Amino acid sequence: MYLKEEMNNYLVELLPDSEKWMEDLEAKATRDNVPIMDAVSMQFVTQLIRMYQPSRILEVGTAIGYSALRMLSAHPEASIVTIERDEARYNQALEEIRKNGKDNSIQVILGDALEEISKLDGKFDFIFIDAAKGQYKRFFELASPLLSSKGVILSDNVLFRGFVAEPETASKRHKKMVEKIRDYNKWLMQHPNFTTSIVPIGDGVAISIRKP
């Protein structure tokens, strides 16, 4: 496996206690079977946010607003634009963001990111891709022109449960997805304008920055 379960459990045990709103959202995601970033990876992302102090953040894939709220909690001065194509989750995200009093800092757009990204104005210092994995390459191509000169792009789930390393172990319904992610990872690592590192935590996180 890309990260042994015992090691992941150890890292989870080391995490600081979550705030009540985080626990409530995590419980809601579990109850409603909504995929959100795992605790260890989310801690890693928020640490990057603290380091980079991005003024503007673009998130592709809102779900119920958990990661947007977590990123904002790491840098409350940031403004976040996040895109969600599922109307039910979009409405849930709006509710959670308003409940936490963050609707002035987080803008949620309902629509397909493949169409909505090109409508955005200005630059973003931090771009987080966590949506339809089969479209990651296109998301990156659309979003990268919006990245500020010293910005960073994160892609989540790039190890896809460890199957990318052992594609023959993937189930029949996952094989096509695994192939697309493997292609994306190879493309990303060979990108002429970006340098990328893949961190084997959670479901795998790729960190891409522009080459000087």
What are 73's two structure tokens?
A: 């909690």
Residue 185 sits in a domain whose CATH number is 3.40.50.150
Please state the domain count of the chain: 1
- Confirm whether residue 33 is marked as ligand binding: no
What are 185's two structure tokens?
A: 């990872």
Whether residue 86 contacts residue 65, with contact meaning beta carbons closer than 8 Å, is answered with no
- Confirm whether residue 156 is marked as ligand binding: yes
- Confirm whether residue 112 is marked as ligand binding: yes
Whether residue 114 contacts residue 140, with contact meaning beta carbons closer than 8 Å, is answered with no
Q: What is the pLDDT of residues 82-136, one digit of tens each?
A: 999 999 999 999 999 999 999 999 999 999 999 999 999 999 999 999 999 999 9
Q: What is the pLDDT of residues 167-190, one digit of tens each?
A: 887 778 788 888 999 999 999 999
Could you list the residue range(s) of the whole structural domain that residue 193 is in? Answer: 5-210
C-alpha dihedral sign at 187, 180, 118, 94: negative
Query: What's the predicted TM-score (pTM) here?
Result: 0.93
Name the burial class of residue 189, with classes exposed (0-12), middle (13-18) and buried (19+) by CB atoms within 10 angstroms of its CB.
Answer: middle
- Confirm whether residue 93 is marked as ligand binding: no
- Confirm whether residue 84 is marked as ligand binding: yes
Distance between first and last Cα of the chain:
34
- Confirm whether residue 9 is marked as ligand binding: no
